């Protein structure tokens, strides 16, 4: 069963680029990459910095109401022996101003968070590092505000602030900058 799921996932990943090649499906679609740094606060009074990188796909571009799918990979930067990476996959409803060069927006959505914790500790009598890894899945929410600035006909810049949250509770506030292309 697991092999069949992997095969279906591989087929989906191979077929996904075909969606963007189809003019009917790609009309008013936008793709962007995003990166930022921010901070997080979570369970057990953990606090620290966060570095994030990701990608977004949204449609329709020219509408006041749009849908957007986001992937964001966070690396939590704390001072403890535990490090944590969180991968968010979310779907959002975005409301934005109508056609203009500068378009403010508000984003709210839900999705999944994959949390990967890595603990480093010394192994007795060996002096090497051991890295037991813990993984878990969680529901996630996203809230964001920002603006899309059209630089050229299809090229845009997107400064934004996103707040991600998942069960724990852990919240990450990520001011970020995206650059993208509208098809």
Find the farthest-apart pair of alpha carbons in the chain and give their distance in angstroms, rounded: 66
Residue 1 predicted with pLDDT over 50: no
pLDDT of 118 = 66
Domain locations in the chain?
Answer: 28-182
Q: What is the pLDDT of residue 50?
A: 87
129-130 vs 121-122, strand pairing mode: antiparallel
Q: Which of 17-26, 27-36, 137-146 reaches the highest mean pLDDT?
A: 137-146
Burial (CB count within 10 angstroms: exposed 0-12, middle 13-18, buried 19+), residue 31: middle
More confident residue, 6 or 176: 176
Mean of pLDDT values over 89-103: 89
Average per-residue pLDDT in the chain? Answer: 79
Give the CA distances from residue 180 to residues 79, 98, 102, 135, in Å, rounded to whole numbers and listed in that order. Answer: 34, 18, 14, 32
Does the pLDDT value for residue 5 go beyond 80?
Answer: no
Q: What is the pLDDT of residues 30-73, one digit of tens each?
A: 899 999 999 888 775 477 888 899 999 988 766 788 899 999 98
Please name the fold of domain 28-182.
Porin (2.40.160)
Supply the pLDDT for residue 90.
Answer: 93
């Amino acid at each position: 069963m697991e092999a069949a799921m992997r095969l279906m996932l591989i087929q989906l990943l191979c077929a996904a680029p075909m969606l963007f090649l189809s003019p009917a499906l790609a009309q008013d679609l936008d793709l962007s990459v995003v990166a930022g740094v921010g901070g997080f606060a979570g369970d057990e009074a953990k606090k620290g910095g966060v570095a994030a990188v990701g990608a977004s796909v949204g449609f329709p571009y020219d509408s006041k109401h749009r849908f957007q799918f986001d992937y964001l990979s966070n690396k939590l930067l704390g001072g403890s022996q535990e490090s944590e990476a969180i991968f968010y996959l979310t779907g959002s409803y975005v409301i934005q101003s109508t056609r203009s060069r500068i378009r403010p927006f508000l984003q709210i959505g839900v999705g999944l968070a994959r949390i990967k914790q890595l603990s480093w500790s010394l192994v007795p009598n060996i002096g090497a590092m051991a890295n037991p890894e813990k993984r878990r899945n969680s529901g996630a929410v996203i809230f964001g505000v920002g603006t899309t600035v059209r630089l050229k006909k299809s090229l845009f810049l997107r400064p934004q602030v996103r707040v991600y949250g998942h069960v724990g509770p852990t919240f990450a506030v990520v001011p970020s900058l995206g650059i993208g292309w509208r098809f």
